[in-house]
Copies of this chain bind each other. A is one copy, B any other.
Amino acid sequence: MKIGIFISGSGTNMDAVVRSWHAGRFSQVDEVSFVLSDKADAAGLAKAAAHGVPTLTVARRKGEPREHHEARLLEAIVSYPVDLIVLAGFMRVLSPYFLSRFPGKIINIHPSLLPAFPGVDAQHQAFDHGVKISGCTVHFVDESLDGGPILLQKAVERLDGDTTEDLRQRILTEEHKLLSEAIEIVTTGRYRVSNRYVRVERNHES
């Protein structure tokens, strides 16, 4: 199987996924086919290139309608057929049109226990709210903002004395593990979705 990764920024989750792949932790992933960014200055692009992964940049032009930008996204990846698209810090909500091209084949990682704190800077939202527990979520992507069926979640404690950055880092460490785990589950088909609930068939060896 082949996977593609969408990013918008530093690409640390993308980096963790590529490392997992290089370390042989995916039983069915033959290739990370591309890393695509919608920001020309995304620091993750250099990381991907350093791993030898093809990089694509499709920045949204000023005033460009979403549909047009998405058409160019599709155009950019058409020669890289993939079985799974992983949104790893990709800061756009994809349209039903785009999603319909990859039904059930797009996952996203989000740094909170959804449905709490959707949208941008979830860690800061959680910090300001004063929660004791936050975490991260991998979910299938639908047209809602961070609202698709949940595949995996991991709780992370906020500790007394934590800064926002401490919390962000502690969550990020778990994101790296959770996203690779999710990719292994999806690419091996070990899940069933029913009524928004994603049942994961656990690997008896793990």
Contact = CB atoms under 8 A, between A and B. Distances in A.
Interface in A110-136: 113-117, 128-133, 135
Contacts of A155: 133, 135, 155
Contacts of A131: 113-115, 150, 153
B132 A149 contact: no
Nearest to A127: B197
Contacts of A152: 132
Which 5 pairs from chain A and chain B are nearest by CB?
A: A155-B155, A132-B153, A130-B196, A116-B116, A130-B197
Contacts of A128: 195-196
Contacts of A196: 128-130
Given A113-B113, A116-B115, A116-B116, A160 B199 contact: yes
A65 B128 CA distance: 35
A200 interface: yes
Interface string A69-109: 00000000000000000000000000000000000000000
Nearest to A161: B199
Interface of A: 113-117, 128-133, 135, 149-150, 152-155, 160, 195-200
16 contacts: A113-B131, A113-B133, A114-B131, A115-B116, A115-B117, A116-B116, A128-B195, A130-B198, A131-B153, A132-B152, A133-B135, A133-B154, A133-B155, A135-B155, A160-B199, A160-B200
A199 to B, nearest CB: 5
A115 B112 CA distance: 11
A153 B126 CA distance: 13
Given A113-B133, A128-B195, 8 more contacts: A115-B117, A115-B129, A130-B195, A132-B150, A133-B135, A133-B155, A160-B199, A160-B200
Nearest to A125: B115
A133 B153 contact: yes
